[in-house]
């Protein structure tokens, strides 16, 4: 969803034999050119190294939820 425009930027169907974690690259690549420095916000399921790599390579800033079970990441984030 593109804030303030009520526009879906990209959407795909996640195949039954996989999860949305493995499907993040395609919708990010389908995003239209966005003005400024867009920010991707993602829930905990997407707090993955591969997902972060795709987002950074697409030129997006990002905010991700970090759960306590990611101890090293949590420590490095809040030190």
Q: State the Rg of the chain over Cα.
A: 14
DSSP 2-33: BTTTTB-----PPPTTS-GGGGSHHHHHTPPP
What are the sequence ranges of the domains in the chain? 20-78
34-43 average pLDDT score: 79
**59-78 per-position pLDDT tens digit:** 888 888 888 888 888 888 88
Report how far residue 45's alpha carbon sits from residue 2's, in angstroms, rounded to the nearest whole number. Answer: 21
Arithmetic mean of pLDDT over the chain = 82
pTM: 0.69
């Amino acid at each position: 969803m593109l804030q303030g425009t009520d526009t879906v930027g990209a959407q795909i169907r996640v195949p039954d034999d996989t999860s949305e974690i493995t499907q993040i690259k395609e919708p990010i690549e389908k995003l239209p050119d966005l003005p400024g420095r867009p920010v991707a916000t993602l829930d905990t399921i997407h707090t993955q190294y591969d997902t972060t790599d795709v987002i950074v390579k697409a030129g997006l800033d990002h905010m991700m939820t970090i759960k306590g079970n990611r101890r090293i990441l949590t420590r490095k984030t809040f030190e």
